[in-house]
Structure 1
Amino acid sequence: MRLFLIYLFLLGYHLAVGQPPRTARPNIVLIVADDLGWKDVGFMGSPFYETPHLDRLARQGMRFTSAYAAAANCAPSRASLLSGQYGPRHGIYTVANADRGDAKTRKLIPVKNNETLPDSVYTLAEALRDAGYRTASVGKWHLGKSPVSQGFTYSIAGDERGMNKHVSPYGISSLPDGPPGEYLTDRLSTEAVKFLDQANDQPFFLYLPYYAVHTPLQAPAELVKKYQNKAKTAGQQDGTYAAMIESLDRNVGRILEKLDALGLTNNTMVIFTSDNGGIRSISRQDPLRAGKGSYYEGGVRVPLVVRWPGTVAAGTVSSTPVINLDFYPTLLDILKRPKPRQPLDGISILPLLKGGKLPDRPLYWHFPIYLEAYNPQLDGGRDPLFRTRPGSTIRLGDWKLHEYFEDNGLELYNLKTDLGEQHNVASANGAVVKKLHALLKKWRAQQAAFVPTELNPAYRAN
């Protein structure tokens, strides 16, 4: 018996070497890819893209198959993630102007878009800073001039712009250029590792929003060559895009390896996700319909993994719908911090992370704007001219209802039997339509959401 106890002691010591004891305040690493589609990673079933580090992360934590962004493109999704609020509260609906596309094809006058997250918003970073965390933003910001005014005590490579190029010289005001040809994804990881190397007894929040895999498509030449010589698959065959994804994966691997080397893995929650769906003409997310900028599933359903050793069981998969609005209240719940005075529109998914369940709840999207088509033949939108026309969407259970303001159109899909949203069953399910439409209108009233009604004088019906 004595020998057995010694064995257990030595085994426990061996497992814990280099890993300090878990505390009530875990470190947090939130990695956000840019325009990475739901099926653009191996752990979600891509047969073409190679993501061994992300696949390992998924095996070590919980993988979500029904995770959503709160918006279908960059800035509004990030604004919602950091504020914990739906778009009507912060007013950021798109990138730049909301009246995109040919004026003659827009029936309504859209809402004026806000491009800056107001300083009055108490962000997730501010909440964690006030809870005693060192906070860092390394990468894309796209919500104003700098993350520093929004709770980040350390910031690099983030400003008001969405994208420029992926090789040095970058032209990013808050990121000194590297040697000519240096790859931006590599550089951001190097800067993130520098921040991690400063880890001490104070917990940290590292927000790492990569610019990859946003266009322009640029990647290291040796990786591009590799995929040019690899057998292609239907809908996923662009070698440069594949190389960008592998580079992203390698750099996520660098972050995970640094956490291991510093003995921080066991007391660090790692969240990996994307800000919105991918561009369908570059990479299809079949069976999901459409892509970035659309509120069909391909535009808002995203990959999501959460790893937190000792709390999140390794190798688990959840099909429960969650949304990036949930990150803020979840982290407050973990830290047992009070909610801020401002509304938070998500919920804590901590019970789900611990192996429990969440109550059924509706998820909403509101987009009183226009986004022109990328590729009329390949986008998969409602019509070939736009990825998005003004409207709202609700998902509750397996049902998803789309409402369009121009023609009062309603589309109903059962995602359990029709994940690709190909068969509008509104006419056969009147009671469901009535229930979801009532919830949607009530929610818009609660949010004081702008619904466009003013006719556009430049519109030409034909």
Structure 2
Amino acid sequence: MRFPIMLSVAFMMTLCSCKQQTNEKKNTKPNILVINIDDMGWKDVGFMGSEYYETPNIDNLSSLGMVFTNGYASASNCAPSRACLMTGQWTPRHGIYTVSPSTRGKSQHRKLIPTKNTHTLSKRHTIIPEVLRNSGYKTCHAGKWHLSDNPKAYGFDINIGGGHNGLPKSYYPPYINVEMEKGNSEYLTDLIMEKTIAFIDTIQKPFFLYYSPYAVHVPIMPVDSILPKYEKKTPWEGQGNPEYASMVDNLDRNIGLLVSKLKEKQMFDNTLIVFTSDNGGLYGITKQKPLRAGKGSYYEGGIREPFFYVFKDKIKAHTKSDVPITNLDIFPTILEYAGITNTDLALDGNNLSSILESKTEILERSLYWHFPIYLQAYNKSDNENRDPLFRTRPGSVIRKGDWKLHYYFEDKGVELYNVHEDIGERNNLAAVNPEKAKELLMDLEEWWKNTNAPIPQDLNPEYIR
């Protein structure tokens, strides 16, 4: 009789062990990986339609989740977009509107005195890594930070190469303005990934990784081993710079290494992955046809981004959504999947879990952009801006449904587009549809009040008509 009793006890112990493992699996917090590429345009990847750049690893990763065809950055250049992502708040709430200063371009061409720009993110804001670290996460920043001198003062346990600088002075050593310990790799994007993988190898608890490599921001410095492949390729739809293409290709390779490491460590299935870019592609280096303009502009080419979410068993693979979303939505969505509810944060984005899990297909709200400053053009002879002198002049933008309105403070100019029918923003409908223009402008004015958005009004005495 002893053997059956021992067998029964062993069976019960195994059952309890399995039950315990199941409960542990249910209670395990997901890892969080946010991939925020620098200056990657809407069509700079294969999964969005590029026939010039080759991004097989990113394309494959996108296929494992939900791709958003109407994904936006909350600003059209680096620092403000990153501040919005980290705080989950519109630009008027943190005051970072550009890379300092706000008086960019010649003074005689600026009619108004622009709003003063905030250069460093205020510590009064509670940002993603702080909330996650307080909830038991190990937090790591890898690459470009751009919001302060040291991301470790803002909730990151580990900092790999991040500082106040917005770009490296060189992708090859010495990097000059990027502090990095030496490794086996030389090209900066490769070295950042080498250090990132070392972090993954040592992690023993749920992690938050903000992977934001300096690539593919200028300086355009090719990866020599990849360059010949693109020198032989035929340009396509305004994409044909082989040096830039080699940087995109190398970035894709590194993301492939990161995904492989997560799978090797059996972490991939329990990791929420967000992929996006901080603003549009640098017009002239790369184009996003049929989108108009590029980085620094509030036409679609400056703010619409490649954007997807992946989370196995939560987000169905091979899905797409045309719901307009923004990088402001990343913060509240992370909180949902991390199971963090006891916060009093005032976030301007939306939790996207119901969209991601296909419980709903609609998210009714307006999106806003506010840019009360000037940003000079860098190529007067080849641009699609409102005028050749500036990528944008002071103004605000609202998207509501399929409609998008641009408002300019200098001349009270209004542009109205149906971006579903006219994604290239070529046909200004403000004159033929004044009621819709009035509706959106009224919504925009209400938003200014709610966010205390600064409106530049003082005339510049140096302005020459």
With normalisation by structure 2, the TM-score equals 0.92
CA contact (8 A) 2:183 2:194 kept: no
2:198 paired with 1:194? yes
* Residue identity (%): 47
Find the aligned partners of 1:254 and 1:447 in 2 and give their Cα distance: 42
Give runs of aligned pairs for residues 52-71 of structure 1, distance below 5 A: 52-71=56-75
Letter in 2 for 1:61: G
Q: Secondary structure at the match of 2:226?
A: helix
Q: Which residue of 2 aligns with 1:319?
A: 322
- Distance apart, 1:340 and its partner CA: 3.9
**What's the counterpart of residue 18 of structure 2?**
none
Residue 254 of structure 2 corresponds to residue 254 of structure 1: no
**Is 1:301–2:304 an aligned residue pair?**
yes
**How many angstroms apart in 1 are the aligned matches of 2:218 and 2:344?**
38
The yes-or-no answer on 1:354 pairing with 2:348 is no
Tell me the equivalent position of 1:12: none
1:399 and 2:429 equivalent?
Answer: no
RMSD of aligned alpha carbons: 1.3
Matched letter for residue 57 of structure 2: H
Which of 272, 275, 278 aligns to 1:272? It is 275
Q: Offset of 1:342 from its aligned partner?
A: 4.2
- Partners of 1:308 and 1:336 in 2: how far apart? 15
Q: Distance in 1 between matches of 2:245 and 2:27?
A: 39
Equivalent-residue separation in structure 1 for 2:257 and 2:301 (angstroms)? 29
Supply the distance in 1 between the matched residues of 2:88 and 2:301 (Cα, whole angstroms): 22
Structure 1's 400 and 92: CA in aligned 2 closer, same or farther, altered over 3 A?
same
Q: Distance in 2 between matches of 1:23 and 1:307?
A: 20
Matched, 1:99 2:103: yes
**Kept after mapping to 1: 8 A contact 2:139/2:208:** yes
**Alignment partner of 1:159 is 2:163:** yes
> 1:108-257 alignment to 2 at 5 Å?
108-163=112-167, 164-172=169-177, 174-177=179-182, 182-200=186-204, 202-257=205-260
Stretches of structure 2 lacking an aligned partner (at least 5 in a row): 1-23
Output aligned runs, 1:17-32, within 5 Å: 21=25, 23=27, 25-32=29-36
Q: Given the two structures, how large is their TM-score scaled by the length of structure 1?
A: 0.93
| Partner secondary structure for residue 121 of structure 2 | coil
Most deviating of 426-435 and 51-60:
426-435
SS of residue in 2 equivalent to 1:222: coil
Alpha-carbon displacement from aligned partner over 1:120-152 (angstroms, at most 9, x marks no partner)? 110011111111110000110100101011111
Which runs of 5 or more structure 1 residues have no equivalent in the other structure?
Answer: 1-19
1:335, distance to aligned residue in structure 2 (A): 2.7
Choose 1 or 2 for highest CA Rg.
2
Query: 1:185-219 CA deviation, whole Å, 9 max, x = no partner?
Result: 1011111101111122x210000101000011112
Distance 2:274 2:389 in 1: 36
Following superposition, the deviation at residue 23 of structure 1 comes to 4.6
Contact 1:22-1:266 within 8 A present in 2 as well: no
CA drift of 1:119 comes to 1.1
Q: Distance in 2 between matches of 1:339 and 1:116?
A: 28
Following TM superposition, by how much is the alpha carbon of 1:432 offset from its aligned partner in structure 2, in angstroms?
0.9
Contact 1:329 1:339 in 2 (8 A): no
Q: Residue 225 of structure 2: SS of its match in structure 1?
A: helix
* Aligned residues of 1:76 and 1:92 also touching (Cα < 8 A): yes
How big is the shift at 1:375?
1.2
How is 1:378-417 mapped onto 2 (pairs within 5 angstroms)? Answer: 378-417=382-421
Superimposed CA distance per residue, residues 315-352 of structure 1 (whole angstroms, 9 cap, x where no aligned partner) = 00111000000010111122332364342110100101
Secondary structure of 2:247 counterpart: helix
Partners of 2:182 and 2:447 lie apart in 1 by 46
With over 3 angstroms needed to count, the CA separation of the structure-2 counterparts of 1:339 and 1:167, relative to structure 1, is: farther
Pairwise CA distance, 1:22: 5.8
Contact 1:169/1:177, CA 8 A, preserved across alignment: no
